[in-house]
Structure 1
Amino acid sequence: MKIIILGAGVIGVTSAWYLNSLGHEVIVVDRQPEPGLETSFANAGQVSPGYSTPWAAPGLPMKAIGWMMQRHSPLVIRKRIDFAMFRWMEQLLKNCNAHAYDINKGRMLRVAEYSRDCLDALREETGLTYDDRQRGLIQLFRTEKQIDKAYHDMKLLSDSAIPHELLNVNQILEHEPGLSHARGLLKAGLYLPGDQSGDAHIFTQRLAKMAAAKGVTFLYDTTIKGMDAAADEVMSIRTSKGHLRADAYVVSMGSYSPLLLRPLGVHLPVYPVKGYSLTLPLTDESHAPLSTVNDETYKVAITRLGNRIRVGGTAELTGYNLRLSPDRRETLELSFSELFGGGDLSAATYWTGLRPNTPDGTPVIGPVPRFSNLWLNTGHGTLGWTMACGSGRILADMIHGRKPDIPVLDLSISRYR
């Protein structure tokens, strides 16, 4: 079968890899000159199935109000008239209850755990390296209230048989001695030994090169303008280089996916949530992470990537605006300076990207009911890197007609009906 994948980020490239492995002819189309240059370029670097948690949680509305009063808020909502944002926020709020939270977190954990296993198998099969480490993740708590909330998440982790441990401060420092000078800030930490880290951009570029060597065609510098459909199937893709035709089409364009689908009457509840990161050179091993930590107070992730440190986080609802905000940089620098400090912030590269978030936190993977040859693999939010390999393999199995290894019926767009 000839299959066109729209988008050459980590989701599109992993989808191409697994479809090619099943014998399909695959073409990947992207407007950028290389793979992985948008949302996959400089994310937090965490492969964190144990940290897979939906934003929509009990108490979020009150938290959000409190955050609005803080200078270094984890969440910023820019004032603007945006009906797509209003609809998305309405759906998000409908998921802010205990029942929906447990369902959504369970789905996310299922996909993320499977994806981590697929990544392990892929790394063993190919020998692929990407500044990767398999040393776990620690979620750092600075208040008793944060610890109390963690007990509920720990129950869900136990229900999903995911290894975890609540650490005291001394135990945290055994895993991450670079936090020693921040001892007074810490109360406890949730250790997730199965989590990993690595550079998603390097991974995407190297896997794309391997896929190309196996026969996958990559069409770069090609802008996707729209889709032509008739009756119940997509007929072609309109691009800056003409029409492209195939037997099946996969939309993996992250935050831009709903814009492409809307003219077809397909309403995908994905909205861009802007995130930021700093990438700085390592200057002092004794004040740097060995693996990866999450600062629960500022919702900031700090990850070791070879001789670099990646500091990523914050969330901003501002549409498709990619302007670099100085105040967001201050929050990242504050978290890093308080916890570690073993990197040169003056030499940091500052970056922003748009995370494709669904209101329930779960990605959208599967067929579009109205069209027999249209498939989706998008909406992974902050967990695109975490869920990439599993999502790509799930999609490939479904298109190929093979039963996926995990339940997938509740991952498709049909759950929003």
Structure 2
Amino acid sequence: AQRVPLSGLGPEEMVATEPALSAAVKNGLFAGGVWGKADESGDARVFTQRLVDTFAHARFVCHHNMPVTQIIRKDSKVRGVMSAERCFEADAVIVAAGVKSRDLLAPLGVKLPIYGVKGYSITVPLDKGAPAPEISLTDLKNRLVVSRLGARLRVAGFAEIGARPDIALARVAAMRARVGELFPDLPLPDNVSPWVGFRPMTPDGAPLIGPVPNVAGLYVNSGHGPLGWTFSHGAAQIVADLASGITPALDIEGLSVTRAMARMFSGRGAA
């Protein structure tokens, strides 16, 4: 892993680093900040689309709009997966289905401690020259992340446990209000494309990466919480190594499926 160097910034240094914060600093919203100069952000959707396009030019075949409904196991070994339309035979299966990973593995007697934590986002379209930030920002006090994605400004945050997949207008209003405070000169349209999704969280915050016990050839890569794309490259390398019979470069004991299941069941026993 590569560490990101951090620097403490005073109010004037914050404005020099990100001019879009000038009004917020002038209004006394920040006493200072922390800057990771090497930190980066991007559009995960665009990345995924281009990754699929790369597969199309290689020896991979992508099947779209075919949700997996069942993992096939026989004699303690994975044999493939079943969709609504057909069966896919396989020597190895990697379950990377976010919150749905729990439902796919439950019929096999594997109980993953993954829980959906609801998060919100709004998206503000940007005209050319709009006074929006270029640097990805984290508003710790309000638990919001602000990131520019080309001609759009994405604002995401909040964490609701056990919530339904509906959009609470109060949450959207709070995000709009904070954007207005941070960037008062930025026009905000009536429609900011509110969206909700469920982060696959584990009780201790660490993802579940590795083989599923008692089912040879079955692996899990899930539970990354709000850091799915951040962890994606490293997690994919670990799972690919395991499925190929290669010892990963990192010690993954703290990420194992068995460690998470053991904690879950020991916790129930203590209660």
- TM-score using structure 1 length: 0.59
Any gaps of 5 or more consecutive residues in structure 2?
263-271
Q: Is the 8 A contact 1:291 1:304 kept in 2?
A: yes
For 2:65, the equivalent position in structure 1 comes to: 221
Considering only aligned residues, what root-mean-square deviation do their CA atoms show, in Å?
1.7
In the alignment, the residues of structure 1 paired with residue 24 and residue 250 of structure 2 have an alpha-carbon distance, to the nearest angstrom, of 41
Confirm or deny that 1:339 pairs with 2:182. yes
Q: Identify which of structures 1 and 2 has the higher relative contact order when contacts are C-alpha pairs closer than 8 Å and 6+ apart.
A: 1
For 2:93, the equivalent position in structure 1 comes to: 249
For 1:325, the equivalent position in structure 2 comes to: 168
- Out of 219, 234, 239, the position equivalent to 1:390 is 234
In the alignment, the residues of structure 1 paired with residue 38 and residue 214 of structure 2 have an alpha-carbon distance, to the nearest angstrom, of 39
Confirm or deny that 1:172 pairs with 2:32. no
1:412: how far off? 1.5
Judged with a 3 Å threshold, the aligned counterparts in structure 2 of structure 1 residues 226 and 286 are, in CA distance, closer, same or farther, namely closer
Any gaps of 5 or more consecutive residues in structure 1?
1-109, 114-160
1:344: how far off? 2.8
Q: Is the 8 A contact 1:228 1:235 kept in 2?
A: yes
Judged with a 3 Å threshold, the aligned counterparts in structure 2 of structure 1 residues 171 and 295 are, in CA distance, closer, same or farther, namely same
In the alignment, the residues of structure 2 paired with residue 405 and residue 228 of structure 1 have an alpha-carbon distance, to the nearest angstrom, of 30
Offset from partner CA, 1:375-405 (integer Å, 9 cap, x none) = 0111111001111111111211221122333
Tell me the matched-pair count.
258
The aligned amino acid for 2:6 is H
1:210: how far off? 0.5
For 2:126, the equivalent position in structure 1 comes to: 282
In the alignment, the residues of structure 1 paired with residue 52 and residue 93 of structure 2 have an alpha-carbon distance, to the nearest angstrom, of 18
1:192: how far off? 1.5
Judged with a 3 Å threshold, the aligned counterparts in structure 2 of structure 1 residues 308 and 343 are, in CA distance, closer, same or farther, namely farther
Bigger share in helix: 1
Q: Where do 1:4-83 residues align within 5 Å? A: none
- Out of 77, 89, 105, the position equivalent to 1:261 is 105
- TM-score using structure 2 length: 0.89
In the alignment, the residues of structure 2 paired with residue 284 and residue 178 of structure 1 have an alpha-carbon distance, to the nearest angstrom, of 14
1:343: how far off? 4.4
In the alignment, the residues of structure 1 paired with residue 10 and residue 129 of structure 2 have an alpha-carbon distance, to the nearest angstrom, of 23
Q: Is the 8 A contact 2:124 2:154 kept in 1?
A: yes
The aligned amino acid for 1:168 is G
- Out of 187, 190, 209, the position equivalent to 1:365 is 209
Q: Is the 8 A contact 1:333 1:345 kept in 2?
A: no
In the alignment, the residues of structure 2 paired with residue 305 and residue 414 of structure 1 have an alpha-carbon distance, to the nearest angstrom, of 38
Question: Sequence identity, in percent?
Answer: 36
Q: Which is greater in Rg?
A: 2
Q: Is the 8 A contact 1:281 1:343 kept in 2?
A: no
1:410: how far off? 2.0
